[in-house]
Amino acid sequence: MSKNWLKIIALPLAAIGFLVGSIGCKRLVKQVMAPKLPPPQTGTAEQLNPQLNISLDASLSQKEREFLKEDFRYAQSLKFENENTGYFATAFKSGSGNGLLQYLDDRIGHIIGPDATVDSRFSYTGNTGSDSNKAVTIATNIGTAVWLETIAQRRSISFFTNNSSLVVNDPRIGIIKLGKAYTVFDEPSGRPLNTVARTSILVHEARHSDCTGGLADRDFLNLASGQLPENRSCGHLHTICASGDYEGLPACDGKIWGAYALGWLFANELVENCKNCTEAMRQTAMVVAMDSLARIPPDIAKAMRSGTLPPPDMSSTTPTQ
């Protein structure tokens, strides 16, 4: 029925990846026929910020909560030069931290911890994981993959959180699962990523919540037969890298203004136009920007840097059929 496609792979900061994998037909049939069960007791979620519609799942540790709150405070605090012009203003509404915060709030709805069992959080049985020994999970956007699965199965799927269930009916439900590397990136030293790197990851994952351009009839047919949609801008699915350190891995943008491009746009703006960034912040942002740029097809990267690429389309369409 499917060809390994509900599998999400998260690679290092140098290659945060999105890949789809497999659910077996027999298990799906069993789940379809099974009686509907009440949602499991998931614990009480915490609102990240009174101004935001982002919930922190009960599965998150106190340290993970503190890091996330720090990262969103950082995003809100940023100030930029020339904040109403260029690609950055188009993508994030304006160059202010508040514009960036709105971008994240529109695309991230729920953040769950690395120890949360994903299978128990949805009204179906699926697999998530990594198939590369280079992989270290920082964060993954589960919501869009599950939304595509609802189309493939032609039935609703619910997400369990806050002792209740939510129907996954829009890619912008924004279910983000943190990996252990979000708080402890460098084992065994325990050295964490800093807030610049973590915030760039949130920007990257949030872009996966956009189904830019929607789905055509052939995309519905592909999904029903276990294939990926032809429109890779729906979910901004990664593609296999053709060269470089991550050659052969799903760690590159497949279309213009994908998740890596948005990560580059954010980090590059910190380097070039941030008014309240320290030198250490700029140095981290430079590394992130260079790494993201290496995950973008060279002709697209060149056009982005020269300003000749069409501005990013930040829309998202929720098609029905």
Indicate if the pLDDT at residue 241 is higher than 80.
Answer: yes
Mean pLDDT of 255-266: 96
Residue-level pLDDT at 318: 87
Alpha carbon of residue 52 to chain centroid: 18
Q: Which residues face 46 on adjacent strands?
A: 56
Mean pLDDT of 34-57: 84
Mean pLDDT of 195-205: 96
Mean pLDDT of 255-284: 96
Least confident of 129-138, 185-194, 281-290: 129-138
Mean pLDDT of 69-86: 89
Res. 26 pLDDT band, cuts 50 70 90: very low
Least confident of 26-30, 77-81, 184-188, 207-211: 26-30
Residue-level pLDDT at 138: 86
d(CA 10, CA 180): 11
pLDDT tens for 131-183 read 344 446 689 999 999 999 999 988 889 999 999 999 999 999 999 999 988 98
Please say whether the beta carbons of 20 and 145 come within 8 A. yes
According to DSSP, the β-strands at 238-239 and 175-178 are unpaired
Indicate if the pLDDT at residue 12 is higher than 50.
Answer: no
d(CA 135, CA 129): 10
Instruction: Specify the pTM.
Output: 0.85
Residue-level pLDDT at 83: 65
Kindly state the helix (H) or strand (E) to which residue 252 belongs, with its residue range. Answer: strand 252-253
Residue-level pLDDT at 206: 98
Least confident of 14-18, 242-246, 260-264, 292-296: 14-18
% the chain with pLDDT above 70: 80
